[in-house]
Structure 1
Amino acid sequence: MLLGGRALMGLLAVLLLVAGAWASWPAAQHVMFPQSREHGTMTVVRCGEEHCTGPFAPASDNATRRGKVSIERSVAADEGAELPVVVKPGTTAVVRSGFPGLLHAWVPLGGALLLASVVVAGGMRMRRTAWGLAGAGALLLTGAFLLL
């Protein structure tokens, strides 16, 4: 019975980590592998409740200038700021590039690490492993908060 409970908690922890990685991947893939994608800078002109918009100036040879692209408000700075971005293929949506963009893209995984640490500590009684998971999650979330 004890072994079954630990196995179930281990499965739950793995499920949390997979879900965090799955939620992070749609934005992270553009930041981690920008070679074949258009990258440049976006100047923030106007911000709404959820998105900020502005023109896109290309920095790569395969990029084209766009009059209006959008980015999540949580990633954008104040109006007038220039952000390095990567264009999502086939859309006018952009994601922030560089190390701050990479950390922001993996924020869901950071939350999953924190949740999994509670499961590992309480359900599996593996406190050192739980502290490692919690530390990694806290470091990821704090880094994203400070750099953005």
Structure 2
Amino acid sequence: MPSAVSSRGTLALLFGQRALMAVVTGLILVGGVWGSWGTAQYVMLTKGRERGTVVVADCSQDACTGPYRPVSAGSVARPRVRLDTSVGVRTGEVLTVVVKPGTDEVVRSGPAGVLYAWLPLGGALVLAGVVVAGGLRLRRTAWVMGGSGLALVTAAFVALH
């Protein structure tokens, strides 16, 4: 009889470990989507949003600025808008952008903007792949997740440079 109890206890621990690792993986992926959606919603859902171009005039340590020229109906020209410098921009470059509603902050649009917006999800996929491989022992799934994340990060890097 002791071996049956021990076997059930081991089975319960194994189930608990796998359940915990599945929850951790889910939280990592939800965090990646949450971190990405803050920017991705403006880049991907552009209908009704102000779209235009920015000529990068000046870059500081944390942001670049420049004049905004509208290309969508209802959009208003602005003498100066702000763009994060982490998006691989250079002074004098002309970028297509979407204006965040109610602000003078813009996000890069087009394929490079979409890839940049989903960059946090790419990092989360790589991290989740490690958790899936080590905690859930699902190596093929882990390789797919990690590889997808690495491909997304690499594509964003290439598109932005």
Q: What's the TM-score bracket when you normalise by the shorter of the two chains?
A: over 0.9
Partners of 2:45 and 2:74 lie apart in 1 by 15
Q: TM-score, normalised by structure 2?
A: 0.91
SS of structure 1 residue aligned to 2:107:
strand
User: What is residue 24 of structure 2 aligned with on the other side?
Assistant: 12
Q: Any residues of structure 2 matched to 1:53-132 within 5 Å, and which?
A: 53-132=65-144
Gaps of 5+ in 1: none
Q: Please give the TM-score of this superposition, normalised by the length of structure 1.
A: 0.98
The CA deviation at 1:76 is: 4.4
Q: Partners in 2 of 1:20 and 1:76 — Cα distance?
A: 21
Task: Report how far residue 13 of structure 1 moved.
Answer: 0.3
Shift of 1:3: 1.1
Contact kept? 1:44, 1:76, Cα under 8 Å: no
- Of structures 1 and 2, the one scoring higher in RCO (CA 8 A, sep 6+) is 1
Question: Counterparts of 1:13 and 1:62 in 2: how far apart (Å)?
Answer: 43
For residues 93-112 of structure 1, give each alpha carbon's deviation from its aligned partner in whole angstroms, at most 9, with x where no partner exists.
00000110000001111110
Matched pairs, number = 148
Select the residue among 19, 29, 37 that pairs with 1:25: 37
Instruction: Using the TM superposition, give the Cα deviation of residue 7 of structure 1 relative to its aligned residue in structure 2, in angstroms.
Output: 0.8
Greater than 6 Å deviation, 4+ residue runs: none
Name the SS for the 1:22 alignment partner. Answer: helix
Identity %: 53
**What CA distance in whole angstroms lies between the structure 2 residues aligned with 1:124 and 1:45?**
50
- Which range moves more in the overlay, 17-26 or 70-79? 70-79
1 or 2, which has the higher helix percentage?
2
